[in-house]
Amino acid sequence: MRNIFFSTLSIAILVLVTGCKKDNYDPPTSQLTGRVVFQGQAVGVRSNIIQLELWQSGYQLYTKIPVNVAQDGTFSAMLFDGDYKLTRLKGNGPWADNTDTIQVQVRGATSVDVPVDPYFVVKNESFQKNGSNITTTFSLQRGNTSKNLEEVRIYIGRTMIIDQNNNDASDKKAASAIPDLTQPINLSVAIPASLATKDYVFARVGVKTVGVSELAFSMPQKIALK
């Protein structure tokens, strides 16, 4: 009976020590940073909706590491050193599908640009307060030419996080009202009463492609109201 007691106690101690060892693994310390880019420039997107996937082979569990892209087109992940495969998801972004794998070798701080092929990007945008409106002038640049323009939109809000679901006011112009895509485009949105007393607002332009749910965006800009 005594031998059984000590055997049981030994097993319990072994399980406890093993559990502590598992819980005491060092966390990953190497940071991978990067951007989704077109012609060397980051592409603006909806915040934390666009996702990339990292995969690391050589382990018993071969699972994906999801990496969210911020609205300025940047992303980051804390990883263990190793060799990873980075993939772009099909149908997840304002660009043509490209599911080719990018090989990424992480050894300490690592940076990588992920090229994408957007249908349109916003260029040379400027914003102004004009009376009770926020106006913008910008240009569009075509990337992938397989789909057509649907509309352009302007969003304003009280925070830097601005998109079709996070804004205080918006307006749009259909492609049919833009006869020449090589010329600057103008948009205007009325400042709502909820923002009229603020010192500033943030504004952003989005471009919608036919048949594509996600918009490509300009970077948000801060506009003084007073």
Per-residue pLDDT tens over the stretch 14-58:
444 444 444 556 888 999 999 999 999 999 999 989 999 999 876
Is the model's pLDDT at 181 over the cut of 90? Answer: yes
According to the model, what pLDDT value does residue 47 have? 92
The DSSP letter of residue 164 is: S
According to the model, what pLDDT value does residue 7 have? 41
Give backbone dihedrals phi and psi of 105, rounded to 5 degrees, phi first. -105, 115
Share above pLDDT 90 across residues of the chain, in percent, rounded to a whole number: 82
Higher pLDDT, 106 or 64: 106
Q: What is the pTM of this model?
A: 0.85
The two structure tokens encoding residue 35: 């951007």
Domains of the chain: 30-115 (2.60.40.1120), 120-224 (2.60.40.2060)
Q: What is the pLDDT of residues 119-155, one digit of tens each?
A: 999 999 999 999 999 999 999 999 999 999 999 999 9
According to the model, what pLDDT value does residue 87 have? 96
Half-sphere exposure of 71 (CA within 13 A, CB side): 19
Cα–Cα dist 81/224, whole Å: 45
